[in-house]
Amino acid sequence: MAEEAEFKCLRCGHEFIAPYDKENPQEHTCPKCRSNSVRRIKT
Ligand SMILES: [Zn+2]
């Protein structure tokens, strides 16, 4: 079951919400700069 999580791009600093499936983690891409250097922000 996917939940939404907050992510931050390490390249441009853009923050965004994306679905996050903890049983099947996927690589995320920054919607702004297309970098895949994206970290999940723990809230
Ligand atoms: Zn970015």
CATH architecture, domain defined by 3-41: Single Sheet (2.20)
Cα distances (Å, whole numbers) of residue 15 to 22, 23, 36? 19, 23, 13
Q: Nearest 5°: phi and psi at 32? A: -90, -50
Write down the pTM of the prediction.
Answer: 0.81
For residue 28, the CA-to-ligand 1 centroid distance in Å is: 11
pLDDT of residue 2: 75
Q: Which tens digits make up the pLDDT trace of 9-31?
A: 999 999 999 988 888 878 899 99
Q: Would you say the C-alpha torsion 9, 20, 25, 6 has a positive or negative sign?
A: positive
Q: Looking at residues 6-10, what average pLDDT do you find?
A: 96
What's the gap in Å between 41 CA and the centre of ligand 1? 14
**Domain map (residue ranges) of the chain:** 3-41
β-strands 3-9, 15-20: how paired? Answer: antiparallel
